[in-house]
A and B are shown apart, each in its own frame.
Chain A
Amino acid sequence: GQSLEQPSEVTAVEGAIVQINCTYQTSGFYGLSWYQQHDGGAPTFLSYNGLDGLEETGRFSSFLSRSDSYGYLLLQELQMKDSASYFCAVSGYSSASKIIFGSGTRLSIRP
């Protein structure tokens, strides 16, 4: 099966940097992705890692280490609008289309 673990809550200060970790267990591995969800909204895609290393998209970066079954999302220059829930999601190689989500990390930004 597949399972993911991520912290339930993180608090950070506006303008700072925050890292949200995600560890996963899967019978195979296809990719790790990250989604953002604001209260009352739908999840929106942030990034995807299929290979080891860092992917950068503006203020957001995502890292993957397949050997450690670990990834993280890095948010820089935090803004109040970044207050949201963040989900990691994994798709397993044995069933590449079965995409399973973690329970989410609620990020709160303080002025």
Chain B
Amino acid sequence: DADVTQTPRNRITKTGKRIMLECSQTKGHDRMYWYRQDPGLGLRLIYYSFDVKDINKGEISDGYSVSRQAQAKFSLSLESAIPNQTALYFCATFGTATGELFFGEGSRLTVL
């Protein structure tokens, strides 16, 4: 099983719908991140969390919200999806010992 698991892997939805992307990890890391990737724009940070009580905005948090339900779970929500939120979304955990981000396999979201 993957250390960082994202669901769903692919989702097509319509404008105005509420969408939740879920992330769970078995690495025991406190820090978790959500990134968005668009072609040619690299990875842009949406939100990150130190623990269940500490959530921080990233570079592009408008239109998104998150929930850290437990150390192992970090969910990203789009309250009212719009077409320019069509992108590949990655969840990651951070290993403080090595300074390494461990990424999930990604969730491809298409908003029509």
The B interface, classified by DSSP as helix, strand, loop or mixed, is strand
Q: Give the residue name and chain of the B residue nearest to A3 (CB).
A: B59
Q: Is the CB of B99 within 8 A of A98?
A: no
Cβ A101 vs Cβ B50 within 8 A:
no
B 76-112 to A, binary, CB cutoff 8 A, 1 in contact else 0: 0000000000000010001000111111111000000
Q: Contacts A42-B90, A97-B48, A98-B48 given; indicate if A48 touches B100 (C-beta within 8 A).
A: yes
Give the residues in chain A near B20, CB-CB below 8 Å.
none
Chain B positions 9-42 with a Cβ under 8 Å from a chain A Cβ:
31, 33, 35, 40-42
Could you tell me how many residues of chain A have their Cβ less than 8 Å away from some Cβ of chain B?
23
Q: Which residues of A contact B (CB under 8 A)?
A: 8, 31, 33, 35, 41-45, 48, 50, 87, 89, 91, 95, 97-104
Q: Taking beta carbons and an 8 Å cutoff, which residues of B are in contact with A?
A: 31, 33, 35, 40-45, 48, 50, 56, 58-59, 90, 94, 98-106
